[in-house]
Each structure stands twice: as structure tokens, then as C-alpha cells.
Amino acid sequence: PSHTFRVPLLLDMFPDAKFLYIHRHPYDVFRSSMHLRRALFEENTLGLLDETPWESEILEDFELAIQSYEQHRHLIPEGNLHEIRFEDLESDPLTQLEVAYQNLSLPGFDEFKKVLIPEIKRLEGYKKNSFHSLEPRLKRELYRRVHPMFERHGYDPQGADVEVEAQRLAMPA
């Protein structure tokens, strides 16, 4: 995820780089980010947790990452960017990765497939972390900050008062 901010730098360093952008529902990204930060801090702060700034820090970082990617993705040469919806990758990894290899003109999928199939089978019983539903105020704030992501990728805002918010965003200042 940190390379989402670095498209221009990566293109300067590697002009022919191939980019695989995996996007996920913003609510899931936020909940997962909160979980990761909590786990890291629990292990590294001797239990002295102050979650107060986390929400705003994660919201700001996510907003900046999306803005940066949307601002710079057009710089990636045609044929060097493939975007995958995380939910599609999760439900059919073999097909999604094969399509990515094809769209990016990458060789070697048949060899990769030999390693990938056993790994997919190994992960079949994997249980993802489960999180509580987000509070309505967080849904509204996430939608306000990254509404282009919801719209471009077709993610449902699920009760984020988007009609009111969309009207407010469309109103001239």
C-alpha cells in the first residue's frame, strides 16, 4: 500500500514497470488498518495504547493515497497497469491472476500456476479477521474523503448518507 503514493518515483526508477493495483472496499481497508495498527502497538508499546489519533491518521493517509493514485495513474503507460477488485481476487485467485498476467503481457504464468494452485488449496480453510460494523459517522467521513473510489469501483456506501453528502459535494462553494 505504501507504493500507492509512489507512482511517479517508481516510473522514474523503472520506466517499464508493470503495476498491479488491488483495490478493496474502503470500509474494509479502514477496519483492517485499525486492526493492524492496534496489533503493532500492542506488541511494541508495552500495552500503553492511545487510539485517539488513529482514526484521523488512518483516514488522512487513506485519503492521500487514493488522491495520489488517482492523480498519477494516467502516467502509467497503457498495458502496464492492471486493476483487480480484492473481492474478485479472493473469490477466484487463479483466474484473476491469469487475467493480470495476460493484461500486463507477463510471461511465465504456466510455471507460476504450478506453485499457485497448491498455495490456493492450502489457504482454502483460512479464516479472515472479522470486524464490527463501522459507526455511521465513520462511514460518512470515509465516503466524504474517498468518494471517488466508491464511485469509480462501484462500492456501495451502505448507509453513509451519500445522497445528502453527494449533494453537498456537488454544491459550489
Average pLDDT over residues 108-135: 90
pLDDT at res. 51: 66
Average pLDDT over residues 77-82: 98
Establish if 134 belongs to a structural domain.
no
Work out how many domains the chain is built from and give that number.
1
Integer angstrom CA distances of residue 115 from 57, 89, 103, 104, 119:
38, 17, 20, 20, 7
One-letter amino acid for residue 114 of the chain: K
Average pLDDT over residues 98-124: 96
pLDDT at res. 159: 54
Tell me: the pLDDT tens digits for 17-71? 999 999 999 999 999 888 888 888 777 776 666 666 788 899 999 999 999 999 9
Tell me: the pLDDT tens digits for 136-171? 999 999 999 999 999 999 999 875 554 444 444 544
pTM here? 0.81
pLDDT at res. 44: 75
pLDDT at res. 161: 52
Establish if 173 belongs to a structural domain.
no
Which grid coordinates are listed for 92? 477466484
Establish if 163 belongs to a structural domain.
no
Establish if 13 belongs to a structural domain.
yes
pLDDT at res. 15: 97
Establish if 43 belongs to a structural domain.
yes
Read off the CATH number of the domain in which 34 is found. 3.40.50.300
pLDDT at res. 47: 64
Establish if 17 belongs to a structural domain.
yes
Establish if 71 belongs to a structural domain.
yes
CA 16 – CA 157 distance, rounded (Å):
36
Q: Which domain holds residue 77?
A: 2-125
What one-character-per-residue DSSP string does 79-137 give? Answer: TSEEEEEHHHHHH-HHHHHHHHHHHTT-S-HHHHHHHHHHHHHHTTT------PPPPHH
Establish if 86 belongs to a structural domain.
yes
pLDDT at res. 39: 81
pLDDT at res. 124: 87
